[in-house]
Amino acid sequence: MEGLGINLGYLISQIINFVLLLVLLRVFLYKPIVNMLDKRREKIRTDLEEADTARSQAEAAKQEYERQLEEAREERRSILAQARDQADKMREEILGKARTEAQELVAKTEEEMEGLRRQALAGAQDEIVELALAAAGKVVGETLDEKAHRRLIQEFIAEVGDLG
């Protein structure tokens, strides 16, 4: 093979060197790089899982926050409704008391007015009786006993009262 320019010893040493270089590269370079890449791949996978877990926890926390926020809104609505109801009840109670007091005041005033009217009528009747007796005594010229005069005047007042 030397005629072709190939040195067999040199070729064998080249093949041995090449195989030895391959073995050395495989042992010292390829396996550590593959191990490093595997570790990196595992770390990336772990980080992605952690990110997914964190995302799902964040989503759960967000949903919990929204649920609590909705509960707070509902509680606020309930409190406002209760406050409105209490205010309405108090308003109705106050209005009822005011109406009752007004009715009592009106009734009391009417009673007082009725009493005053009766007193005025009684006083007026007494005065009319006295005036009628005096006038009748002057007109008639004779004196009737007082009982008869009073009876006549009472009958007159009753007739006048029926006309009015």
Other beta carbons less than 10 A from residue 149's beta carbon? 19
DSSP 30-70: IHHHHHHHHHHHHHHHHHHHHHHHHHHHHHHHHHHHHHHHH
pLDDT at residue 138 in the model: 61
Whether the model clears a pTM of 0.75, i.e. scores above it, the answer is no
Question: What is the span of the domain harbouring residue 47?
Answer: 2-163
Query: Considering the chain, what is the average pLDDT of its residues?
Result: 86
C-alpha 94/C-alpha 67 separation (Å) is: 40
Whether the Cβ atoms of residue 108 and residue 115 lie closer than 8 Å to each other: no
Q: Which two tokens stand for residue 163?
A: 């006309």
User: How many angstroms separate the CA atoms of 13 and 107, rounded?
Assistant: 136
Instruction: Output 6 or 20, whichever has higher pLDDT.
Output: 20
Contacts of 143 (CB under 8 A, 6+ apart): 137
Q: Which residue has the tokens 């990336």?
A: 44
pLDDT in tens, 112-143: 998 988 888 877 777 777 776 666 666 665 55
Between these two residues, 157 and 9, which has the higher pLDDT value?
Answer: 9
Tokens of 79: 């409190």
- Measure Cα distances from 105 to 26, 95, 111 in Å: 114, 15, 10
Which pLDDT belongs to residue 53? 95
pLDDT digits (tens, 9 = 90+) for 64-115: 999 999 999 999 999 999 999 999 999 999 999 999 999 999 999 999 998 9
| Number of structural domains the chain divides into | 1
Residues near 62 by beta carbon (within 8 Å), at least 6 away in sequence: none
More confident call, 38 vs 11: 38
